Chain A
Amino acid sequence: MLKSLSSIFSFETLRLNGPPPAGFYKAILFTLAIVTLGEGVSRFLLAHVGRNWEYWTPEVAVQFEEYRHQTESGQSPEVLIIGDSTGLCDLDPLVISRCVPGGPNVYNLATHANFPFAFRSTTLPLLGSQHRVPRLVIASFSPDGFVDSARVRRFEEKILSSAYCRHSSGRFVATDYVSLLRLLNALPLIKSAYWGKRDSAQAATNSNDSPSIAKSTEGAGPSGARDEAEIESKEISSDRFSVVRELGILSKARGFKLLIVVPPRLTSSMDEVCAEYVRQLLQAKEDYGFTVLDASRSAFLSEVNFKDNAHLNQDGARIFSKELARTVVPVLLAAFETSVDIGKQAQRR
């Protein structure tokens, strides 16, 4: 036994132990058996949850999986709304569907804090060659999301660190293979799958027939409205804006019409950012042929239609969506039909 003079470093060393205590190996084997059983039970419970556990929130899981299911079964929506919380709050899929002649199928895939880098991982792949694409894609981004601030990055990080984003970029870690590790996060989904219990948030999740997607986000959670608007820098990042270019390239390659909406806003503090965002959009529009609708100063919306500086409330979303459905959407859908006809004629020739 060796003991140092200083009590803080005192230890007895080289006291090599003899045989392990009685029943040591039995206890270890019994432990392994119970843990394996636990893993088996959790795999059974998670079997009906499908891929939903991969997402960063249960609401988004239902939203994205429903869309994936629709595209895989050949029933992809004709109009798709994508982007961040501005798309989620400001655009009402049901109102658009009702107001556009022919009542097209409209689906809202926009989600909170889905800022450009997150959007690149979450949404762009769904418009890629493996999936059926809609006729018209309406993209709505908060100009603030194109500013490379710590706050924006923090919000994106939550999405980018999700298993969904890791898997879409081909990265797998140990936690992906152990069901026990995701049991807690998947608990609301398990309740829903086995006992039909739906969380209030989940119940209000998107479907293209949802009365109003804006209703579910009225409270704007931690990744919601106010925080998204509070940013430090005031410069549009070219890296972030390149995501818009990638979207433009996809629209050309896959043949869908793209409408980029600059969302309505009350705030004046970020006017410079908004103006720069619009300027860059108009510049990119020439190269990629998408349509830009600058609604940042909409005359038909007043202060009572906003729930905060950057997002409309439910009434505001109805008014804005109706206006959009009456003016721009039918024109773009008609333009899509024309381009398809021209394409078919060219093929015949």
Chain B
Amino acid sequence: MLIGFFKKVGVADALAPAVDIRFQNPGACSGADLLGALYLFAVQIYCDFSGYTDIARGVSKLMGIELSLNFNHPYFAWNITEFWRRWHISLSTWLRDYLYIPLGGNRKGTAKTYRNLMLTMLLGGLWHGASWTFVVWGGLHGLYLSLHKYWLDLKGNSIKSTASSAMNAIVFPLKVIFTFHLVALTWIFFRAKSFDVAWSYLSGIVLWRQAGAADSMNYIGIRIVLLLAALFGLELLQEGNREQTGLLQLNWMARGICYATLILLILVFGGWSAQIPFIYFQF
């Protein structure tokens, strides 16, 4: 529950103002500024939603109810298929069980498998709202998944063997970074209020717009750096443990230091004063 509060109040709400301003008027921002804000939004939406889930899981556990895991450090995924095994697991499982498999899954030939993947992700996008931006978001993910499947078929490898070969110390981090950027690109369409805004945002980054009325990257300060560093440390500590109990396995003193650090970061640097609602409340 403390980790959930740290993610939501400590990180997501602290990042929200900088992100909101850039997505309101991307035309006034430089390319570097927009790219930085996009990374922050990727972190914000993860922390907002997984924080929400962590709080719910923590509260439930206090009452003796074990809720299923919904996020398993998705930004550590080394390919897009792995990402969807780690992101919003309840939704992706539901989409798989109630859309992809009833559509035929991968049992009716290659062409239909790609069609089913695209349809599932497009409908997954529409599940978030009746907007073309969500359709594009779902479409991009469908395209990524199809391309990844095509790549695996071409190589004749299973996802499992890809995962094991990805453990190479150099290739693995590159794959993780590449996957993160693919996902981050789709967040533009997810976050933008309209297609025009999304296009302005994307063109600002791609064309590396120079003139920005807003102070470029002025949101990067000690506050954001500390929060992101703590989040990264926490994610590393919890990664590799399906039950996400990495913190609990530390000795009492290290655990106390971690708990206290999280509490102090929330109190001193968190965005508690803004009272920003959960992003997923709108869906």
Q: Are A15 and B255 in contact, with the CB atoms below 8 A?
A: no
On chain A, which size bracket covers the interface?
Answer: 20 to 34
21 A/B residue pairs, CB under 8 Å, sorted by A: A7-B93, A7-B97, A8-B90, A8-B93, A12-B66, A13-B66, A14-B64, A15-B66, A16-B64, A26-B256, A27-B252, A27-B259, A28-B259, A30-B252, A31-B263, A35-B260, A38-B260, A38-B268, A178-B267, A183-B267, A184-B268
Given contacts A13-B66, A30-B253, 18 further A-B contacts (CB under 8 A): A8-B91, A8-B93, A10-B68, A11-B60, A15-B66, A16-B64, A22-B252, A26-B252, A30-B255, A30-B257, A31-B263, A34-B257, A34-B264, A35-B264, A42-B268, A175-B273, A178-B267, A181-B267
A21 at the interface (CB under 8 A from B): yes
Expressed in whole angstroms, the minimum distance between the Cβ of B251 and any Cβ of chain A is 6
Residues of chain A touching chain B, judged by Cβ–Cβ distance below 8 Å, are 6-8, 10-17, 21-24, 26-31, 33-35, 38, 42, 175, 178, 180-181, 183-184
Given A22-B252, A181-B272: A17 and B64 interface contact (C-beta under 8 Å): yes
Q: Are A23 and B268 interface neighbours, CB within 8 A?
A: no
Q: Which residues of A contact B269 (CB under 8 A)?
A: 184
CB closest residue in chain B, given A1: B66
Q: Which residue of B lies closest to A179 (CB)?
A: B267
- Tell me, yes or no, whether B67 is within 8 Å of chain A by CB: yes
- Proximity bits, B247-277, A CB within 8 Å = 1, else 0: 0100111011101100110011100110000
Chain A residues within 8 Å of B263, by CB = 31, 35
Instruction: Report B's interface with A, CB cutoff 8 A.
Output: 60-61, 64-68, 90-91, 93-94, 97, 223, 248, 251-253, 255-257, 259-260, 263-264, 267-269, 272-273
Q: Specify the chain A residue showing the minimal Cβ separation from B250.
A: A27
Contacts of A31 in B (CB 8 A): 256, 259-260, 263
Complex Cα spacing A38 to B257, Å: 12
The one of A11, A21, A175 that contacts B248, using a Cβ cutoff of 8 Å? A21
**A35 to B273 Cα, complex, angstroms:** 19
In the assembled complex, the Cα of A184 lies from the Cα of B65 at a distance in Å of: 37
Across the interface, A34 reaches (CB within 8 A) one of B61, B68, B91, B256, namely B256
Contacts of A184 in B (CB 8 A): 223, 268-269
Chain B minimum-CB-distance residue to A16: B64
Q: Which residues of B have CB within 8 Å of A11?
A: 60, 65-68
A23: B residues at CB distance < 8 A: 251-252, 255
Number of interchain pairs (Cβ within 8 Å) = 83
The interface residues of chain B, by DSSP majority, are classed as: helix
Give Cα A184–Cα B264 distance, bound, in whole angstroms. Answer: 11
Chain A residues, CB < 8 A from B67: 11
Q: Which residue of B lies closest to A26 (CB)?
A: B252
Minimum Cβ distance to chain A for residue B212 (Å): 17
The residue that B268 contacts in the complex, of A7, A8, A34, A180, with Cβ under 8 A, is A180
Q: Are B65 and A13 in contact (CB under 8 A)?
A: yes
A16-B64, A34-B260 are contacts. A183–B248 as well, Cβ < 8 Å? no
A residues less than 8 Å from B68 (CB atoms): 10-12
Residues in B with CB closer than 8 Å to A42 are: 268
A12–B93 alpha-carbon span in the complex (Å)? 16
Q: Could you tell me the distance between the alpha carbons of A21 and B90 in the complex, rounded to whole angstroms?
A: 28
Q: Is B90 a contact of A180 with CB atoms below 8 Å? A: no
A53 to chain B, nearest CB (A): 13
**Residue numbers in B under 8 Å from A181 (CB-CB):** 267-268, 272
CA–CA, A7 and B254, complex, Å = 36
Q: Which residue of B lies closest to A30 (CB)?
A: B256
Q: Closest chain A residue to B269 by CB distance?
A: A184
Closest chain B residue, CB of each to CB of A25: B252
Answer whether A30 and B94 are a contact pair too, CB < 8 Å, given A14-B64, A15-B64, A180-B268.
Answer: no
Point out the residues of chain A lying under 8 angstroms from B91, CB to CB.
8
Q: Do the beta carbons of B64 and A27 come within 8 Å of each other? A: no
Contacts of A26 in B (CB 8 A): 252-253, 256
Whether B66 lies near A38 (C-beta < 8 A) is: no
Instruction: Please name all residues of chain B whose beta carbon is closer than 8 Å to the beta carbon of A30 when the two chains form the complex.
Output: 252-253, 255-257, 260
Residues of A within 8 A of B97 (CB): 7
In the complex, what distance in Å separates the CA atom of A14 from the CA atom of B272? 33
Chain B residue nearest to A42 in the complex (CB) = B268
Q: Which residue of B lies closest to A24 (CB)?
A: B252
How long is the Cα–Cα vector from A31 to B263 in the complex, in angstroms? 9
Report B62 CB to chain A, min CB distance, Å. 10
Q: Shortest beta-carbon distance, B241 to chain A, in Å? A: 14
Complex alpha-carbon distance, A24 and B94, angstroms? 36
